[in-house]
Structure 1
Amino acid sequence: MRRASAHRSVALAVLASLAIAACKPQVDDKRPETSREFPTADRPVSGVVSNAFSNEQERDRLGEADMVMNLAGIQPGMSVADIGAGEGYYTVRLAERVGSKGRVLAQDIDGDALRRLGSRVEHDRLDNVSIKPGGVDDPRLPERSFDRVLMIHMYHEVTEPYAFLWRMWPSLKAGGKIVVVDLDRSTDRHGIPPALLICELEAVGFRLDEFHRKPEIAGYYAQFVAAKSRPEPGEIKPCRLKTAKGASATSALKGN
């Protein structure tokens, strides 16, 4: 009898432990621990195919960088962050535009690209440029430091957009702006529909300020300002892109 009672006790303990385990929330071990308090992006993410978006001479022929810097109002003396700088197409042109009294911070998660950019900065003697590695869920920008933060043809590669943008929010000076240039197509095809982009930035405390479609920049230009406050990570409502046969790239969005 004692043995049977002991077996029943063990069985009940095992069942109780299984019930407790079943009540615990599932953790996605593939996500960085520093991202898990934020929602998961409900969209595919493009892989990085190249740190050079296209031929620099061709981009200059089209006037891409000048167009973007003009739309962004980049002026001498400004402090600008170039996120996803790669090998520095925008970094070197921003350095010239902001001048000796301005500053450019070039950031990327690709160490090899940053080393090549470092050699370019040293060769060109760009004393107003600094280089810093970033994280997949954190741009690691100092607070209240930038007049403009640029993300050019790279936002669709951000795997943890809510954590990334939320941690970017404090980096802007008063009157600072976030600039995104991307293609109007699905995120698994190296672009992002504008409505989805706007939804994701608004979800973490930004507000759309300007939007332009320009052939010179091979896509669209979206500019954002910081709202008065940002939500806590657990309060962020992730964006869902409604997909339907024949729907346009700017399909309706809703928060869940």
Structure 2
Amino acid sequence: MMRFAPLAAALLGLLPVPAHAAEPLGPPGLPAAAFPKPDRPVAEIIAPLWAQEGQRDRVDEVGQVARLMGIGPGQTVADIGAGSGYYTVRLATRVGPQGRVLAEDVTPDYLAGLERRVATLPNVTVVRGEAHDPRLPPVSVDAAVLVHMYHEITQPFGLLHNLAAAMKPGGRVGIVDADAIPSRHGTPPALLRCELAAAGYRETGLQVLDGGVGYLAIFAAPAAADRPEPAAIRPCRDTATRTAPTPR
């Protein structure tokens, strides 16, 4: 039997055509190879959801983060590494019909699931990014959240540099993570501060969230003139995060 490519099959009516396939929204930023690699382990991506949604709702996880970050109606918010869409759908309600949520991810299965979940939400756009580049429109985002995924970013300096280009002046970046070493799916706050500072970000607050969710660290994204050149970035040394010594 002849096999049809997915697009051809969809056009022939054999498969449903997605309402909007996830694509990059912005031009490519600087390539991953331009940046130094982090001097620490990088955790493997293992699931699109950090914990059960009901458990997270009971402690109002998204509400805590949104209040601390000042996320409200009319804003454009990027959910970087959106995974299952837990934050995406709740932020869509918070920003309202005049706001916008950009649900970005790099994993094809997660993107497909996001497409299905947000199909009825007109203020959500699913974005296919790259591991080092969220591929968001320049100067378009009021706030960005990275939830329990920073430790999984293979090229954090590249992602932070390219994300900064998408932030509006005064844009806030909030990182939710566990206070644990990356190999145990967390990021020690001291290491996070060091890596964000190396990319030109300025910390404006750190709060342990209620309900065992982890901590929220908030940073001001650097303006274009304040972003360090990739060659000037120095990886942070933190031997406590290592699973084994790195040869030199």
Query: Within 1, Cα distance between the matches of 2:140 and 2:31?
Result: 23
Query: Within 1, Cα distance between the matches of 2:72 and 2:184?
Result: 33
Rg larger in structure: 1
Q: Cα gap change, 1:133/1:217 in structure 2, threshold over 3 Å: closer, same or farther?
A: farther
Query: Within 2, Cα distance between the matches of 1:182 and 1:165?
Result: 16
- Does structure 2 conserve the Cα–Cα contact (< 8 Å) formed by 1:68 and 1:217? no
- Does structure 1 conserve the Cα–Cα contact (< 8 Å) formed by 2:199 and 2:233? yes
- Out of 43, 55, 77, the position equivalent to 1:80 is 77
Equivalent runs, 1:1-256 vs 2, <5 Å: 34-122=31-119, 125-216=120-211, 218-228=213-223, 229-243=226-240
Which structure 2 residue ranges, 5 or more long, are not aligned? Answer: 1-29, 242-248
Secondary structure at the counterpart of residue 221 of structure 1: strand
CA shift, 1:74, in A, is: 0.8
- Does structure 1 conserve the Cα–Cα contact (< 8 Å) formed by 2:73 and 2:96? yes
- Does structure 1 conserve the Cα–Cα contact (< 8 Å) formed by 2:164 and 2:222? no
Query: Within 1, Cα distance between the matches of 2:114 and 2:179?
Result: 28
- Does structure 2 conserve the Cα–Cα contact (< 8 Å) formed by 1:64 and 1:217? no
Percent identity of paired positions between Structure 1 and Structure 2: 47
Kindly report the root-mean-square deviation, in angstroms, between the aligned alpha carbons of the 2 structures.
1.4
TM-score by length of 2: 0.82
Secondary structure at the counterpart of residue 93 of structure 2: helix
Query: Within 2, Cα distance between the matches of 1:147 and 1:36?
Result: 28
In the TM superposition, what whole-angstrom CA distance separates every residue of 1:137-184 from its partner, at most 9, and x where no partner exists? 111111110110110111000011111111111111111100000000
- Does structure 2 conserve the Cα–Cα contact (< 8 Å) formed by 1:102 and 1:128? yes
* Structure of higher RCO (CA pairs closer than 8 Å, 6+ residues apart): 2
The code of the aligned residue for 1:160 comes to Q
Query: Within 2, Cα distance between the matches of 1:199 and 1:217?
Result: 24
Query: Within 2, Cα distance between the matches of 1:217 and 1:117?
Result: 26
TM-score by length of 1: 0.79
Which structure 1 residue ranges, 5 or more long, are not aligned? Answer: 1-32, 244-248, 250-256
CA shift, 1:87, in A, is: 1.4
Query: Within 2, Cα distance between the matches of 1:179 and 1:82?
Result: 10
Count of aligned pairs: 210
In the TM superposition, what whole-angstrom CA distance separates every residue of 1:211-232 from its partner, at most 9, and x where no partner exists? 1112336111100002351111
